[in-house]
Structure formats: structure tokens, C-alpha cells
Chains A and B, each alone.
Chain A
Amino acid sequence: MRLRLTEEEAAFREEMRTFFTTEIPQDIRDDMRAGRHIEKDHFVRSMQAMNAAGIAVPNWPVEWGGKDWTPLQKHLWHEEMQLACVPPPLAFNAGMIGPVIAHFASQEMKERFLPATRNLDIWWAQGFSEPNAGSDLASLTTRAERDGDDWIVNGQKTWTTLGQHADWIFCLCRTDPEVKKQAGISMLLFPMDSPGVTLRPIKLLDGTFEVNEVFFDNVRVPGENLVGEVNQGWTQAKFLLGNERVGVAPVGATKRALSTAKEHASQLGALADPLMAARFVELENQLLALELTALRVVANSTDGKPHPASSVLKLKGTELQQEVTELLVDLAGPFSLASDSLTVPEWAAHAVPTYLNFRKASIYGGSNEIQRQIIAGTILGL
């Protein structure tokens, strides 16, 4: 057993801290810290700065721009990024389609897409969920039918996050309706401006536009845009979602949000209230337990497979993330009503929209009920 980082690990962490606090433009980090709306341009500039330094996609194979880092180094990279208020590399590119292409696609497809994906020259959208296929993703009905060498896609996707910025979509389609539902799915790639693609933004509770519906009406997709083999889509989707779950424990970002909340509380004199101080203590302690669990998980995932406790990270990580947004609403008190006002502190105006928006965290990435099912089923054998 060992408490501290090794000298090399500590030096690596310092290197990451220096990079994120000096090489990412200050305006982007200020907007993140203040909880303002993050524009497309923020994501692009941030990811391109990381890519220029060769650290945008450490989880990819080294030959495609990944890093031969230990799980702990990857963890430190991710934590320092969050603590420095840096927008993470776009998840659809870095965490989802990039690894899928690198793992399943032809050499030609890799060369065509991976460099542009890494540099966010292509902004990808995730075409997974449908109105009747949410947690039960395998029941999706968007279909792709052969027409010569091409595919013709018809159907609808929904909850397509930031699809309004997307250049391309990776889309799960039913290619064989006759077999078991998991066995008849394929993944197709096509441009969002293909004839027959219509995007309709969905306005969210906080007034923002983050997700979309996407409709496909006889969209023609060249055969070469199929990822890997026909009817391999479910395997690819599971591979992708496994990666997604590891990445969604937002420890660093929640720590930062909680420390910012503490500054506000201190300015308001609210920390003198033992009830409020106790809430901070309990939250900080649970967050510490979560962070240490994340460290245990990364230290023991050397074979590349996620540690069973990684479901705990998503479940508890999003609960704590949501609890911090609740705490900020309670700190803002009546000012929290003034969500469009410039006369109350900016954080207080943002408190409720952020709180409402972050109800999403326990729903996406495999809802927390799905996580409980995974824990009960695969870990506890129930």
C-alpha cells in the first residue's frame, strides 16, 4: 500500500496543471468557471490546443494520437483539466466514435476520419437514442436498407446532444429486422447536411438548446461509410458505452463547483450557520470518498477492462454533482428567482437553470437505474 504519488506521477501532474492553466485561452476558462454558456468555438479552440500538444485523445491507440499513459496518468490528466475549468475534449469525438473507428474500422476509414476527429475539424453527433429506444437502446427502429452499394436510411433519433453544431453523425441503424434485436444493428457514418436529414432543436427547461431530434427521410449513405461489419453495431455500441461510463464521474468538476460554492457561502456569511457548514462538510467528505474510489478503480484497471466499481462512480458522481447544484440554489435563496437578472450575482442568476439542467446527469450515460441494475446483476449476482 502507498499513500503518495511517485515522483514521476507528481511531475506528470504538475506538467498537466501547467499546461491547462497556461495553454488554454483564459476567456474559455473564465466562462467555464462562471458557469456561462459554452460556445462551439470554446470547444474547438480548447480541443485544438490539446491536440497541438498531443494530449487531446490519450485513450486512443498511440498510432492514432493516443498516449501510452497509465490509467492513473489518464485520471490525473482528466482531473487537472476539470480543476482548471477547461472544457473537456468533445466526448462524441474523443470518447465515442474515435475509439470505435480505431478499434473496428478499416485502415482507409481510420485515415479518413481519425486525424480530423482528433482535431475537431469534424464535429460528431451521436445517433443512438430514439423516441422508443432509450435505456432499451437495442429496440431501435431507424432502418438502413441496401440500394446497390448504398444504404437508404429512414427513421428518427432524439436527445442528439449539440447536434446543431455537428458535421457528421454516427448512427445506429437496423439492418436486419428478422434476427434477435441486438444482432441486426449496424453503425453508419454520414454528413448532417446529407439530403433528407432534418434537425429540430429541443428547448430545455433552462431555456437552452442542447439536444435535438434528427429525422432521416431516404438519406442515401455510401456503402463505404459502414463501420466495420454489417450487424456488428451492437458490439460497437457496447464498446462505446463502456468507455462512456468510465468518463462520466465528474470528480474534478464537482470539487471545483463545490469550492466555488464555498466562496459564495463565505461571502454571504452563510458558513457561520452550522447547518450550512455541515452540508459542505458532508458533501466534501462524500466527494473525497468518490475521488478515492476513482483512484482505486484506475489503479486496478490495468488489463484495460473497467473495474466493477466504475458503475459506482457514475451513480454517486452524478448524485453529488446534482447535490452541489442544489446547494447553490439554496445559497442563492430568493435571488435564485432572478434567473434573467443582471442585478443579482451572476452565480445566483445561474443557480436554478443549472440545477434544472443537471437533472440530466442521472439520466444520460446509462441512467442511474441502469447503473443499479449493473451493480445488482454483474457485481452482486442478483
Chain B
Amino acid sequence: MDFELDDEQTALRDAVRGLLKGYDPATNSEQRRTITATDPGYDEALWLRLGEMGLLGLPFAEADGGMGAGPVEVAVVAEEIGRVLAPEPYVATVVLAGGVVAALGSDDQRAEVLGSLATGEQLVTFASGEVAEPVIQGARADTIVWEVDGEVFLVDRPADVTAYRTHDGGRAAHLVFERSDATVLGTGGEVRDTLKIVIARAQIAACHEALGAMDTALRLTTSYLTTRQQFGVTLNRFQALTFRAADMYTDLELTRSIVTWATLVSAFGEDDAVVEAAARAKLQTVRAARRIGQEAIQLHGGIGVTDEFSIGHFTSRLTALSHWLGDAREQVSVLSAGISQYGVIDPLD
């Protein structure tokens, strides 16, 4: 077992970090505020640059206009996005919607949809049900990958679109698909099993985004504790505060371990194992995200609750990620159903 990035993956991480550095909350938290203030809530010029770098086509086959990379590379990008709270809808569009098209689309559909998704010309998102909500970037998207009753279609224009801003600065929509023109994706038919696996991979990528956000939330918090003064000393002199930061670190490291493992399962494991690993990673991520998000605000004091200071936005984003693609209750329910089938969990088998 090896959890470390290789040289190429490290270079990818550094490149993505460089591209997103405008959002770095340590140097400039205005960028994100400005971008998220107006529709579509992300930087379309930056999105095209991500496309030029090949990041938007990272997981797709080269024949479909992608880079042919795997879950580890996707995880690297997602984590960097989370680290600076970039509002670009990477996981929802590339990993989830793109993932469904990659898994099910015909040759032509893959070339057309994934090709234009990879360059950034077209935004594609995923929606589920006759009335779907909240669909991430549902109003901005050029194409909706639409699942209903286990079958999947491509839809250009839903019958009704109600767009809104989400609490984390993102954009989502209420979509109604009644009598919309829809094209069958691939050969059609019931594809729930395939969807489950694509959604699991997107869940794992979203966990990496949360991991990046938690990492920064902790760093911002420890930095605050060593600079803010009260009673004539910096806050890190108060053990009641430093112990809480230590618990945040424990949560972060445990989460990093299980989320990275889930990515390795996604890269090298069986499909069934991916679904279970995603549930495990998500459960741990949601638990840690809640504690770290709350403690980050508490240790900052009043400014943690303001819009002006960035730390509270991390808590908002972590809460959004926790409830997107299945919350903790759902994971506990999924995992409970299987607990009688094994004695111990063996991650090395």
C-alpha cells in the first residue's frame, strides 16, 4: 500500500495550485467574493484555461478528447479546488455528468459531449427525476445528463428552469423535464448499476474537495491562533483552544487516510468495492467536516460568522459538500445493511 503521489501527480498538483492561486484565502479572499457575486458564479475565463491545461478532460479517454488519467489525478484536482474554495463546478460537471456520458454514451455522444466539456466550450451537468433539485449549475449548463427511472437521456432545454444561488456561493436550479426533448444516452434502458458506480466516483472526488477545504480551514485557524492577541498574549497560549485544534488535526488525518484509500479502490478495485468505499469515505468526511467547520468558526470568534472573513465560507462549503450526493444518514443506512456479512473490515485483502 502506498498513499504518496508520484512525481507526475505532484507536478499536476503544483500546476493546478498555481492556476488557482488567485483564490488563495491567505492572500486574497476578494477574488472568490467577486466571482461568486455575479452569474454564473464561477470564472468562465479560468474555466477555459482549466480546459486548455487538459484538466476538464482529465478522466476521459483520449479518443473522446480527454487525457486518459485516473481517479488519483481527479482527486488531486478536486483537492486543490477545495483547498482554495474555488467555485468552479469541477466535480459536478466533469466527474459526475462527464462520468455518466463516458460510461454510457455512444461513440458520437462521447466525442461530442465530452470533447466540448473537456475544452470548456460546453457545460454539462447531471439531474435526477422528473422534477430535479438542486441541480448544480442547472441554469447555466448547455446539456443536462438526465436520469429518470433508471434510464438516462441528454436534454438541452428543460421545460422549466428556476435558478438560484446556494448558501456556499454556488449556483443551482430547480428543473422540470415534463415534455422536454430528450435523446437517449447510448443504447438506453435501465442503467442503475452503472450510475451507482459513477456517482460513487464523484462522491469520492467530492470528499477530496472537502479534504482540501478542511486542510485550509485548519491552517487558517492555527495561523489565527498564533497571531490574534487577547489578555496580552496570542491565543495559542490557551490550552483550551490548542486542544480543540489538535482534535481538528486528528479528524483531518483520519479523513485523509480513508478518502485516499477510497480513491485507490476507485483506481484499482472492483466496482462493488468502489460503491462501499465511497460510502465509507463519505461518512467519515461528513463527520469530520461538521466538527472541523464548527471548530474553525468557534476558534476565530465573532469574525468567523461574518461574510467578510473567509473561514465561515469554508464551513458553508463543507456543509454543502456534506449534503450533496448522499449525506451521513444515507451512508449509515447503506453500510448498516451489510454489517452482518463480515467479521472485520480488511482494507488489505
Contacts and interface: CB of A to CB of B under 8 A. Distances in A.
A289 B258 contact: yes
Nearest to B252: A312
A4 to B, nearest CB: 7
Contacts of A284: 335, 339, 345
A237 interface: no
A377 B225 CA distance: 12
Interface in A290-316: 290-293, 295-296, 299-300, 309, 312, 315-316
Interface string B259-296: 01101110111000000000010011001000000000
A310 to B, nearest CB: 10
Count chain A CB atoms within 10 A of each CB in B245, B264, B344 and give the residue with the most: B344
B332 A293 contact: no
Interface stretch (A39-47, A52-60, A102-110, A252-260): A252-260
21 contacts: A1-B5, A1-B264, A2-B2, A4-B268, A4-B348, A13-B348, A262-B339, A281-B332, A281-B335, A284-B339, A287-B345, A289-B255, A292-B258, A293-B257, A296-B257, A299-B1, A312-B253, A371-B246, A373-B242, A380-B242, A381-B222
A382 B225 contact: yes
Interface of B: 1-6, 9, 72, 218, 222, 225-226, 236, 239, 242-243, 245-247, 249-250, 253-258, 260-261, 263-265, 267-269, 280, 283-284, 287, 332, 335-336, 339-340, 343-345, 347-348
Contacts of B345: 255, 284, 287-288
B84 to A, nearest CB: 20
Q: Which of B257, B261, B283, B340 has the most CB of A within 10 A?
A: B257
Contacts of A316: 250, 254
Contact of A285 (B239, B267, B283): B283
B336 A380 contact: no
Contacts, number: 146
A372 interface: yes
B339 A375 contact: no
A347 interface: no
Contacts of A309: 253
Contacts of A229: none
A172 B27 CA distance: 51
Nearest to B236: A382
Nearest to A298: B1
The residue in A13, A282, A375, A380 that gathers the most chain B C-beta atoms within 10 A of its C-beta is A380
Given A2-B2, A281-B336, A286-B284, A259 B257 contact: no
Contacts of B239: 373
Contacts of A262: 339-340, 343
Contacts of B250: 312, 315-316, 375
Contacts of B1: 2-5, 72, 295, 299
Given A262-B343, A284-B345, A372 B243 contact: yes
Contacts of B2: 1-2, 299
B257 A289 contact: yes
B260 to A, nearest CB: 8
Interface string A1-31: 1111100000001000000000000000000
Nearest to A260: B343
Of the candidates B5, B6, B265, B287, the one having the most CB atoms from chain A within 10 angstroms of its own CB is B287
A253 to B, nearest CB: 11
A316 B255 CA distance: 12
Given A288-B258, A296-B3, A259 B344 contact: yes
Instruction: Name A's interface SS.
Output: helix
A124 interface: no
A285 B344 contact: no
Given A289-B255, A380-B222, 10 more contacts: A3-B267, A4-B1, A274-B336, A277-B336, A281-B335, A282-B287, A292-B347, A296-B260, A375-B249, A375-B250
Contacts of B222: 380-382
A278 interface: yes
B280 A376 contact: no
Nearest to A258: B344
B74 to A, nearest CB: 13
A280 interface: yes
A376 B237 CA distance: 11
The 3 nearest A-B residue pairs measured at CB = A292-B257, A376-B242, A375-B246
A376 B269 CA distance: 36
A369 interface: yes
A241 interface: no
A166 interface: no
Contacts of B247: 372
A259 B245 CA distance: 32
Contact of B336 (A3, A72, A258, A278): A278
A150 B133 CA distance: 82
Scoring B6, B9, B249 by chain A CB atoms within 10 A of each residue's CB, the highest score goes to B249
A290 B340 CA distance: 21
A49 interface: no
